[in-house]
Amino acid sequence: MYHNDIYISPRYCLDDYLMLNLSITSIEQDWRKAIDIFADRMEGRFLLLIQEYSENIRSDNRHIDYSFSSMALCCLLIETLHQFYYGLDVTVFRGHKEAFVQFLTRSTYFRGQFTRRTAAFFYSDIRNGILHQAQTKRNTQLAFDQLDMVIEIENGIRLDVIKFKDELINEYQLYLARLSQSDNIQLRENFIKKMNYITIKN
């Protein structure tokens, strides 16, 4: 809350979205406004910082300083996108691992890089490790400038942080593009469900 207004993104208040009364049959102008609100929310909370961290990694070679923060934000963004894809309030109980495995093996930009096995390693060693212990688990390592995004190594994986971040941004931008198409009815229905969970408190 700021000056008695509840903000759901850096530039938009709760009422900015609620006044749209968004539905599948809403005019495209209202859908563009809703997508803009969503983009402002995602970029303000996740993408701008992810981009800033990765630029610092590149320019200053400060890998240790920024890589873990960047990956933590990437993991939060993945879970958020997963919930928007399927119209979920929260990720299904005990379904977090499968959510990450599905995301990494079905996404246009990750499915050629990850198998179910390496996606499961990403979830357990990177997502859980960083978010719960502030470190990667087992022998899994964060890397930079390697040829492939993910390489399976003994007792873990080695993940290129910059390649991963770049493709996650591509995945996010593809979602925006698909959401902008009026014939993607299921995607839009799920978007409305998720936004209602965020904006309407029962």
On whether residue 6 sits in a domain, the answer given is no
Which residues are bridge partners to 143 per DSSP?
160
On whether residue 7 sits in a domain, the answer given is no
Band the pLDDT of 102: cuts 50, 70, 90.
very high
pTM, two decimal places: 0.91
* Contact by Cβ (8 Å): 66, 93: no
On whether residue 26 sits in a domain, the answer given is yes
Residue 2 has pLDDT above 60, yes or no: no
Instruction: Give the Cα separation of 39 and 92 in Å (integer).
Output: 24
On whether residue 169 sits in a domain, the answer given is yes
Token output for 107: 């996404």
On whether residue 1 sits in a domain, the answer given is no
On whether residue 4 sits in a domain, the answer given is no
Using DSSP, state whether 122 is helix, strand or coil.
helix
Instruction: Give the Cα separation of 43 and 175 in Å (integer).
Output: 13
Band the pLDDT of 66: cuts 50, 70, 90.
confident
Instruction: Give the Cα separation of 143 and 118 in Å (integer).
Output: 15
Alpha helices, DSSP H only, in the chain?
14-18, 28-42, 48-60, 63-86, 96-106, 116-121, 128, 161-179, 185-199
Express each pLDDT in 144-187 by its tens digit.
Answer: 889 999 999 999 999 999 999 999 999 999 999 999 999 999 99
**Short-list 172, 171, 146, CA closest to 157:** 146
Rounded mean pLDDT of 25-38? 98
Using DSSP, state whether 138 is helix, strand or coil.
coil
Instruction: Give the Cα separation of 44 and 160 in Å (integer).
Output: 24
Give the strand pairing for 150-153 and 141-143.
unpaired
On whether residue 8 sits in a domain, the answer given is no
Give residue 104's domain range: 14-199
Question: How many structural domains does the chain have?
Answer: 1
What pLDDT is attached to residue 202? Answer: 40
Rounded mean pLDDT of 101-130? 96
* Contact by Cβ (8 Å): 42, 77: yes
Band the pLDDT of 52: cuts 50, 70, 90.
confident
> Average model confidence (pLDDT) for the chain?
91
